[in-house]
Amino acid sequence: MPPKKVVPTLQTLSQESVLFRVCEIILSEIYFSDDDRWSQWTDEPPELSVMLKLVCEYLSENLSPCILENLLNDILKKEEAVEPTVRLIAIQMLLVNGVRNLVTGNFPSTYYSLVLQSIAKCGEGLTKLDLRGVWIHNFDNKFHLLRSLRKLVNIKHLTLRYNVDDEILNALGKYCSRLEMLDICGSKNISEEGLINLCKNPNRVAVGQLSETLKILKIGGPAALKMPPELIAVILKHIPNITSLGPYEHTGRAIEQVLKETPDKKFGLRYMHDTLTSMQKYVSIKKSCPNLQSVYFDGPKSEVLEQLGLSKNLSEIKLNRIKWDDLKAMLENIGKQLRSLFLLTVWGQIDLVKLGSLCPNLYRLEMHRVELICDDDHHETAFNNLIELYIYSTKISTYCIKLLLNQCINIEHLTLGQCGYLTDLSVINSLKEHSLLNVREIWFGIATELTMETIQALMEHCPNLKSLGNVGHWNVYPDDLDFLRVQLFLNNCDLKLHEFSPQGDAEEVIIAMPQ
């Protein structure tokens, strides 16, 4: 049977009670008080009423900043259940001295300036701020963002996707003294001058320069595909401690630009993404980046994969548009040291047994748009250490699935996108041979031959199973699922049956490689 639901801790219950009580008080003040300030404010956040000030003072005196931080972020997460006015006032009430982390979530565009003003007023102590849900699309928004940045002297992790230009970079370089991670993915109005002011601002107020503290700069992305390598070369020149440039896809060309001026320069990059990597480009990368641990190569040349197999530090690899023969040759040299492998669009038939035997220490494997074959459903070591397996946009034969069920004895997350050939009998027989004792999440995307028998078998042989889907694409009736949910509820079982994925598609959302 699935695991039983854990009894909530007293802290959890108390925190939820306070959260709902705070939202209730705010709503009561907005809709039922005699104060008309809530219907008049437009350009500035409304001043807290006497009641809300008393509640804020009471919470600050009786709860630690850590608890207030959890309360605030929990309220901001509930963007579908809690209206934006309540979330805005929660920021004003709970963003007190001692709160370190803030994720604003998504707000309507009319609230952007109000949220930024609230952060500028109370967020001086923040060390981590995520503003990806607040877009800067007019002068007022930008003005209030710049005001906020002047106050964020302690910030270490900052997310400002799609919002950044040279003026904002200048403010970051001038006022933020401890910034270690900056996410500006999708920002395209950036010049060389702006990046230089970010790294070494001549008018800097804080001690030192960002070039001494900044380690991760996530830049580029889909909205900034035309960002020239010359701009990224500026970052590599002026930030010696940079370890990752996030999704920027022409890092190799940027490295070549720098090496033209300083041939012996070394970079501290541990992750990089490059597209259409030639052998000449790879030689430059290998020479100047001795600390690389994780790479994403999109469309590399065959000889690049051959040389990649000689790298001794790599533990995570993501590859797109490659041949299976080239991949196999590379894995024969490097496979045993890999911990994570991500494959997109591999030409040729991937032999699952061969792949598993070449990479016995993999803990995470993800594949998209590949063709899988296998000539045996057992192997001594293949996939025995695998913890996470995701296969999307790929038709998987019953034989391949049986191999995976037999071999992935330590699997915790199992997602198979298209399982049209999978039957109840094959699943039940595999589970009789090897129960999946550690699995917590199973997603069979399109499995039209599976019925309630498979669900019952999985419940019997997977004692830690907590999530099962996408049963909406199985051969099961809604009434049977509803009856099973009632049984699970009455037995206090912690198992959720998902009829569809979070996107409403047959296949689960894509999980990207860590950067």
Q: What is the pLDDT of residues 457-479, one digit of tens each?
A: 999 999 999 999 899 999 999 99
Average pLDDT, the chain: 90
List CB contacts of 240: < 8 A, sequence separation 6 or more. 211, 268
Are 465 and 440 spatial neighbours (Cβ–Cβ below 8 Å)? yes
Specify the pLDDT at position 439.
Answer: 96
What is the pairing mode between strands 316-323 and 441-446?
Answer: unpaired
**Burial of 477 from C-beta contacts in 10 A (0-12 / 13-18 / 19+):** exposed
Q: Which residue has the higher pLDDT, 177 or 416?
A: 416
Rounded to the nearest 5°, which phi and psi values hold at 158? -135, 130
Q: What is the pLDDT of residues 348-357, one digit of tens each?
A: 999 999 999 9
Structural domain harbouring 390: 378-515
Tens of pLDDT, residue by residue over 421-469, are: 889 999 999 898 888 999 999 999 889 999 999 999 999 999 999 999 8
**Under 8 Å between Cβ of 147 and 116:** yes
> Which strands form 128-130's sheet, in the order they lie side by side?
101-103, 128-130, 157-159, 181-183, 216-218
Tell me whether residue 344 is in a domain: no
How many Cα atoms within 13 Å fall on the side-chain side of residue 342? 17
Question: Does residue 503 carry a pLDDT above 50?
Answer: no
pLDDT at position 500 over 80: no
Using CA atoms, how far apart are residues 500 and 366, in angstroms rounded to an integer? Answer: 20
User: What is the per-residue DSSP string for 64-119?
Assistant: -HHHHHHHHHHHHH-TTTS-HHHHHHHHHHH--TT--EEE-----GGGHHHHHHHH
Give the separation between CA 103 and CA 133, rounded to whole angstroms: 9
Beta bridge partners of residue 413, listed in sequence order = 388, 441
Residues 35/49, Cβ–Cβ less than 8 Å = yes
Q: What DSSP letter does each residue of 7-75 carry, written as one string?
A: PPPHHHHHHHHHHHHHHHHHHHHHHHSS--GGGT-SSSPPPPPHHHHHHHHHHHHHS-HHHHHHHHHHH
Longest CA–CA span in the chain (Å) reads: 76
Q: Which residues pair with 348 in a beta bridge?
A: none
Q: How far is Cα 75 from Cα 77, in angstroms, rounded to an integer?
A: 5
224: pLDDT confidence band, cut at 50, 70 and 90? low
Task: Please give the pLDDT value at position 330.
Answer: 97
pLDDT of residue 117: 93
Between 201 and 481, whose confidence is greater? 481
* pLDDT tens string 18-60: 999 999 999 988 887 776 665 555 567 778 888 999 999 999 9
pLDDT value, residue 453: 96
Query: Which pLDDT tens digit goes with each residue over 231-255?
Result: 999 999 999 899 999 999 999 999 9
- The alpha-helical segments, DSSP class H, found in 139-240 are 139-151, 166-175, 192-199, 210-213, 229-238
Q: What is the pLDDT of residue 515?
A: 43
The CA distance from 101 to 497, in Å, is: 33
Assess if residue 487 is contained within a domain: yes
* pLDDT in the model for residue 505: 46
Is there a domain that residue 197 lies in? no
Q: Is residue 414 part of a domain?
A: yes
Contact indicator for 259, 238 with CB cutoff of 8 Å = no
3-state SS class at 191? coil
The average pLDDT across 9-15 equals 91
What is the DSSP track for 279-348? Answer: HHHHHHHHHH-TT--EEEEES--HHHHHHHTT-SS--EEEEEEEEHHHHHHHHHHHGGG-SEEEEEEEES
Q: Is residue 332 part of a domain?
A: no
**Residue 29 falls within a domain, yes or no?**
no
Q: Residue 59's pLDDT is what?
A: 93
Q: What is the DSSP letter of 197?
A: H
In a domain? residue 62: no
- Tally of structural domains, the chain: 1
Closest CA to 108 of 88, 126, 94: 88
pLDDT over threshold 80, residue 495: yes
- R_g over Cα of the chain: 26
pLDDT of residue 278 exceeding 90, the answer is: yes
Question: Burial code of 298-333, b = ≥16 C-beta within 10 A, e = fewer?
Answer: bebbeebbbbbbebeebebbbbbebebebbbebbeb
Give the model's confidence band at 225: pLDDT under 50 very low, under 70 low, under 90 confident, else very high. Answer: low
Distance CA 446, CA 476 (A): 12
- Tell me which H or E stretch contains 271: strand 271-275
- Per-residue confidence band for 222, with pLDDT thresholds at 50, 70 and 90: confident
Residue 174 falls inside a structural domain: no
Name which of 108, 60, 56, 59 is nearest 80 in CA terms. 108
pLDDT computed for residue 502 by the predictor: 46
Q: Which of 63-72, 97-106, 340-349, 372-381 comes out lowest in average pLDDT?
A: 372-381
Looking at residue 68, its amino acid is L
Report how far residue 280's alpha carbon sits from residue 362's, in angstroms, rounded to the nearest whole number.
Answer: 30
